[in-house]
Amino acid sequence: MKFQTLASFVILATSSLVAAAPLEERAPTVQYSSGFNLGANRPDGSCKTQAHWEQEFLKIKSWSTNARDKFDSVKLFSAADCDTLARAVPAAIKTGTTLWVGIWPAPNDPAKFGREKGALEAVLKQYGSSWLKGINVGSEALYRKEFDANTLAQYIWDVKGMTQIAYGATHVPVGSADTWTSWVDGNNKIVIEASDVILMNAFPYWQGVNVEQGLQTFQEAITNTRGAIGSKPLVIGETGWPSAGPKFGEAIPCKACIQKYYTDVACWLQKQNYGWYWFSGFDEPKRESEIEKNFGIAWSGQTPKVKFTCPA
């Protein structure tokens, strides 16, 4: 089923017109959460099964050190790739984990958006939406210039119509995830307007700063993003630091650097009201980028690289 927008109203593309209040006027509340981004592939490149998802969700929850951060929420990149939602949703329900779902359209595959939305619709039909924390349509699609802002905004409205109207999941915020530099670009304002929530990705490593400057640089990204999005709820979609790979400017990948960045940034976030998802849960040896292979908070064997306890 396809949904489109007209004058901020959702119109079902059927023979009848369904009246609805503007979605902005009843935008869902974005609740605090903390967790990790997880890809759909195992270290050997194969797709995760439901059992693999269950094991990873429980492993991540075991890292929790306080009542504020139970690490009981996970952010996913795609709904359809590797049958992600069909396998991850029952695992999430079984383990008491909530999911922030990524809808990943592809500029070179016009049918991909339909497959992604169809995968989400299938699990909404089967499992309801109590497990669903939020949805981001696109992941750095503006930064990579995969779609223009108008197209991405229409995709967001489409998913909002299906999720919040057709399936009654009015508690589920829908937005997009992108770099802070994309959110401060005035050409992307329509995407902000279409979104219930803005997910900001910020990596001081990629800004070439020393890890000692990581927290200040990260906080500046939040300030800049907040200035662009106004009162829209803000969630940290991705942040992290690599343990190995090439130096970038003054930024050096190292295991001690991850600990420093986690202690500074994650422990600061625990005192704020921004939900956040670390990039990422585990190293991914099959990634093409040498540096992105090493962004896990844990090695690919799931042993953490850091101590999660924050200083008093």
Task: Please indicate, yes or no, if residue 165 is contained in any of the structural domains.
Answer: yes
Task: Tell which residue, 49, 129, 113, has the closest CA to residue 83.
Answer: 49
Task: Please indicate, yes or no, if residue 151 is contained in any of the structural domains.
Answer: yes
Q: Give the pLDDT mean for 38-62.
A: 98
User: pLDDT by residue (tens digit) across 119-144?
Assistant: 999 999 999 999 999 999 999 999 99
Task: Please indicate, yes or no, if residue 112 is contained in any of the structural domains.
Answer: yes
Task: Please indicate, yes or no, if residue 129 is contained in any of the structural domains.
Answer: yes
Task: Please indicate, yes or no, if residue 300 is contained in any of the structural domains.
Answer: no
Q: How confident is the model at residue 312 (pLDDT cuts 50, 70, 90)?
A: confident
Q: How confident is the model at residue 1 (pLDDT cuts 50, 70, 90)?
A: very low
Q: Which of the two residues, 78 and 27, has the higher pLDDT score?
A: 78
Q: How confident is the model at residue 25, as a pLDDT? A: 52
User: pLDDT by residue (tens digit) across 77-96?
Assistant: 999 999 999 999 999 999 99
Task: Please indicate, yes or no, if residue 305 is contained in any of the structural domains.
Answer: no
**What whole-number distance in Å separates Cα of residue 266 and Cα of residue 260?**
10
Half-sphere exposure of 73 (CA within 13 A, CB side): 24
3-state secondary structure of 254: coil
**Number of separate domains in the chain:** 1
- Single-letter residue type at 305: K
**What whole-number distance in Å separates Cα of residue 6 and Cα of residue 107?**
24
Give residue 253's domain range.
Answer: 31-40+47-294
User: pLDDT by residue (tens digit) across 140-166?
Assistant: 999 999 999 999 999 999 999 999 999
Quick one: three-class SS letters along 147-172?
A: CCHHHHHHHHHHHHHHHHHHCCCCCC
Q: Residue 170's domain is classified under what CATH number? A: 3.20.20.80
Task: Please indicate, yes or no, if residue 132 is contained in any of the structural domains.
Answer: yes
